[in-house]
Amino acid sequence: MQKIRQDIKNGTYQNVYLLYGEENYLKNQYRDNLVKALCPDGEDMNFTRYEGKGLDENEIIGQAETMPFFADRRVILVENSGMFKNKAEQMTDYLGRLPDYLVLIFVESEVDKRSRTFKAVQKSGYAAEFAEQTEETLTKWVLGRISRAGKRITRQDMEHFLTMTGSDMINIDSELEKLLAYTMDRDVITRADIDAVGAPQISNQIFDMVRAVTEHQQKAALNWYYDLLALKEPPMRILYLLSRQFNQLLQIKEMQAAGLPNRGIASKIGMPPFAVSRSSGLCRRYSTDQLRQIVAECVQTEQEVKTGHLDDTISVEMLIVKFSR
């Protein structure tokens, strides 16, 4: 990413860029910055955009071979093409002989780093991975936004905000904009503000349901389940998330027993450290064998629903009743 910023600053560009990874907010930001720098004032005579799988490689190459009109560069943006997961022989060969005037920008969610196409970009230009950001990076980013707005927030409330939003920066950005607007006349953001305007992710609602289960609050656990159904969440998706949540508790318990610190556990299972800390209290309510049994029952229930032996809605409800008994 530093390389892209440097190229924009110096006005010297690679012939091909590949922006890939799960973090769409940053990926789109760098895409837009590149296009804006290469096509100032919205000039689109020498700019072409393609999107979607099944694109005609020959058409893109033909456009790339067209000299720019009264400009130094021709810019082509190709998004979500799948060329870096599937074979794209013509494009791969063309990446080895790009004309000097061309800047070709690929934006992809998934790539195969072993593919010839990926390696061709690395040889002829620059590939930048935009991975899911760490808790520390997200916290610094959000705190910077809050500080520039002239506001403050406690560390505990900051963690609560990120727990509610998840790690997707597009969602964080949207929720933060709502929060800043809601607290426009105040300089301190509180947990009450976050709860008042925040839209919890389904994973957080599942966690609340699991917490109610572990505390044997059967009525509360069932209410969470009915709320999720009212939000049109399919029972099988709820079961999948329920199973995943208990499987994470199992992994945390096993790693803690092995002496691994929360930060190390977080890195291994892809959770923020504060989320691991939050889950640790639930782990203490179960033995390792009990957690294994719960996960096994979730898997068994899914199989019986898929084979038509159980109704999906009722089967998940029965599990929640059993686990929270």
135-197 and 202-323, same CATH topology = no
Residue 130: C-alpha distances to residues 12, 25, 28, 155, 236 (Å): 22, 9, 10, 26, 31
Percent of the chain with pLDDT over 90: 53
DSSP states of 182-194 = HTTT-SEE-HHHH
**Among the ranges given (9-18, 37-46, 115-124), the one the predictor scored with the smallest mean pLDDT:** 37-46
Q: Domain segments of the chain: what residues?
A: 2-129, 135-197, 202-323
Report the pLDDT averaged over residues 287-312: 90
What mean pLDDT value characterizes the chain? 89
Greatest mean pLDDT among 118-127, 158-167, 309-318 lies in 118-127
Tokens describing residue 269: 């299972």
Burial of 248 (0-12, 13-18, 19+ CB in 10 A): buried
Do residues 127 and 115 lie in contact, with contact meaning Cβ atoms separated by under 8 Å? no
Long-range contact set of residues 134-138: C-beta below 8 Å, sequence gap at least 24:
134/272, 135/162, 135/167, 135/266, 135/272, 135/273, 135/274, 138/162, 138/167, 138/169, 138/172
pLDDT higher than 80, residue 323: yes
Q: What is the pLDDT of residues 11-27, one digit of tens each?
A: 999 999 999 998 899 99
Encoded amino acid at 245, one letter? Q
| pLDDT for residue 282 | 84
- Options 1.20.120.1630, 3.30.365.10, 3.40.50.300, 1.10.8.60; CATH of 135-197: 1.10.8.60
Average pLDDT of span 105-119: 94
Residue 43 has pLDDT above 90, yes or no: no
Q: Would you place residue 296 in the very low, low, confident or very high pLDDT band (cuts 50, 70, 90)? A: very high
32 and 8 in contact (C-beta within 8 Å)?
A: no
pLDDT for 283: 86
Q: In CATH, what is the architecture of 202-323?
A: Up-down Bundle (1.20)
Average pLDDT over residues 230-249: 87
Per-residue pLDDT at 179 exceeds 70: yes
> Distances from the Cα of 215 to the Cαs of 212, 260, 307, in angstroms?
5, 26, 32
Q: Summarize pLDDT for 248-272 with one digit per residue, the tens.
A: 899 999 998 888 888 888 878 777 7
pLDDT band at 285 (very low <50, low <70, confident <90, very high): confident
Which pair of tokens denotes residue 202? Answer: 């389904």
Residues 6+ apart with CB under 8 A from 226: none
Chain position carrying tokens 């934006």:
107
Which residues is 48 bridged to in the sheet?
Answer: 76
Beta bridge partners of 103: 75
* Euclidean distance between CA atoms 130 and 168, whole angstroms: 12
Q: What are phi and psi of 175, to 5 degrees?
A: -70, -35
Query: Taking 80 as the threshold, does the pLDDT of residue 199 lie above it?
Result: no
Please write the tens of the pLDDT for every residue from 62-101.
999 999 988 889 999 999 999 999 889 999 999 999 999 9
Q: Quick one: tokens of 225?
A: 């389940």
Give the pLDDT confidence of 203-232 residue by residue, as tens digits.
677 878 888 888 889 999 899 889 888 878
Tell the CATH superfamily of the 2-129 domain: P-loop containing nucleotide triphosphate hydrolases (3.40.50.300)
Q: Is the pLDDT of residue 1 over 70?
A: yes
pLDDT band at 233 (very low <50, low <70, confident <90, very high): confident
126-129 sheet: strands from edge to edge:
47-51, 74-79, 102-108, 16-20, 126-129
Residue 200 pLDDT > 70: no
pLDDT at position 141: 93
pTM of the model: 0.67
